[in-house]
Amino acid sequence: MKKLLIGLIVFAFAKAVTAQQDPQYSQYMYNPLVVNPAYAGNRGVTSIVGLHRSQWVGLDGAPRTQSISIHSPIQNSRVGLGLSVVNDALGPTDETYFAADFSYTIPVSYDGNLSLGLKGGAHVLNVDFQRLNALDPDILLQNNIDNRLSPTVGVGAYYHTDKFYVGLSTPNLLKTEHFDPSNNNNSSTAIATERIHYFATAGYVFDLNDNIKFKPTTLVKAVAGSPLQVDVTANFLINEKLTLGAAYRWSAAVTGLVGFQISDQTMIGFAYDRETTELGNSTYNDGSYELFIRFELFNRYSKLITPRFF
């Protein structure tokens, strides 16, 4: 019975790690570099973005994500460079991604540009099995995973005009399995598996009048072993200062979003998700919260001639 219970715990945990997609964002339209290296430098200025997400607040071991990224075009060239760090905690696991991003932009029409990107970095995995609070822990749950390092390589493409964009990417093409040695028969047990994630994003800016812009966006995320995730977002930009919006994550959650352009250089945003599944009805789930800040470095002239809305 002991072996069976421990096996069920490990199986459930391993399935959760395998199926858990890359960190989830409701404000993905402001933070595309972490999933698409082709976006590096595409704002035309040095851009720094920080984001924190607390998911399913009130549930022990619920996901928590922090990310920071910086990217910039290289002057007098078609090259963009970026760096990003993402930390994602879920239950007994803690994962950190470090990545460097490279993009090359090709003009393909009068007002359209196609950027191709490459992402390279490393992924560090930690698993503390003692946080599972097993009543009668097996030897398998006593061997934690500490700083397990694996390489990551990703690619992406990003096309945009002044009013439209579409992107395709995968942040990591390498399928890595993390093993723990078994003391029973010199074999190994798969504790977690890194899956290939595919992302598609798109957005458009409609001028409703001189003061209001409508900015619908979408993100589609696909990974083996998990349902297809589709986010559809509708944002309204008022006087190029205040952003108000709502989003729907297919069969998962509804979201309210608000953002404010504090100055030409600084923007902040907040999002709140409420689950539409049975999880949302739990008295222990207070929803998901997300906060981001973007700071950009540019001179006044470059801002005036290259306004960007995404």
N-terminal to C-terminal alpha carbon distance within the chain: 56
- pLDDT (mean) for 273-285: 79
Reduced to 3 states (helix: H, G, I; strand: E, B; else coil), residue 182 is coil
Asked if residue 5 belongs to a domain, the reply is: no
Reading the block at residue 282, the tokens are 């739990």
Residue 46, domain extent: 23-130+144-176+195-297
Nearest alpha carbon to residue 66 among 99, 95, 37, 36? 95
pLDDT of residue 24 exceeding 70? yes
Q: What are phi and psi of 214, to 5 degrees?
A: -105, 125
Asked if residue 114 belongs to a domain, the reply is: yes
pTM here is 0.85
Number of domains present in the structure of the chain: 1
Asked if residue 188 belongs to a domain, the reply is: no
pLDDT of residue 237 exceeding 90? yes
Q: Are 297 and 275 in contact (CB under 8 A)?
A: no
Taking residue 241's Cβ as centre, other Cβ atoms within 10 Å add up to 13
Burial (Cβ within 10 Å: 0-12, 13-18, ≥19) of residue 179: middle
pLDDT of residue 180 exceeding 60? no
What DSSP line would sit under 56-90, residue for residue?
STTSTT--EEEEEEEEEEPTTSSEEEEEEEEEEEE
Asked if residue 113 belongs to a domain, the reply is: yes
- pLDDT (mean) for 254-273: 96
- For 99-113, write each residue's pLDDT tens digit: 999 999 999 999 999
**Could you tell me the pLDDT band of residue 309, with boundaries at 50, 70 and 90?**
confident
Give the pairing of strands 266-275 and 253-261. Answer: antiparallel
Reading the block at residue 250, the tokens are 């297919």
The DSSP secondary-structure symbol of 291 reads E
Q: Which of 19-23, 47-51, 122-126 is least confident?
A: 19-23
Asked if residue 118 belongs to a domain, the reply is: yes
Asked if residue 304 belongs to a domain, the reply is: no
44: left (phi over 0), alpha (psi -120 to 50) or beta: left
Sign for the CA dihedral angle at 235, 32, 90, 270 comes to negative
- pLDDT (mean) for 243-265: 95
Q: Are 244 and 224 in contact (CB under 8 A)?
A: no
Q: In this predicted structure, what is the pLDDT of residue 8?
A: 34
CA atoms within 13 A on the CB side of 50: 4
Asked if residue 184 belongs to a domain, the reply is: no
User: Over pLDDT 70: what percentage of the chain?
Assistant: 79
Q: In this predicted structure, what is the pLDDT of residue 5?
A: 36
pLDDT of residue 132 exceeding 80? no
Beta bridge partners of 310: none
What distance in Å separates the CA atoms of residue 51 and residue 267, rounded to the nearest whole number? 12
CA atoms within 13 A on the CB side of 126: 12
pLDDT of residue 249 exceeding 90? yes
pLDDT of residue 164 exceeding 60? yes
Asked if residue 199 belongs to a domain, the reply is: yes
Beta bridge partners of 289: 54, 272
Reading the block at residue 243, the tokens are 């952003």
What distance in Å separates the CA atoms of residue 114 and residue 102, rounded to the nearest whole number? 14
Mean pLDDT, the chain, whole residue set: 84
What distance in Å separates the CA atoms of residue 216 and residue 233, rounded to the nearest whole number? 6
Question: Which amino acid is present at 190?
Answer: A
CATH code of the domain containing 273: 2.40.160.40
pLDDT of residue 265 exceeding 80? yes
- For 26-82, write each residue's pLDDT tens digit: 999 998 999 999 999 999 999 999 999 999 998 888 899 999 999 999 999 999 999
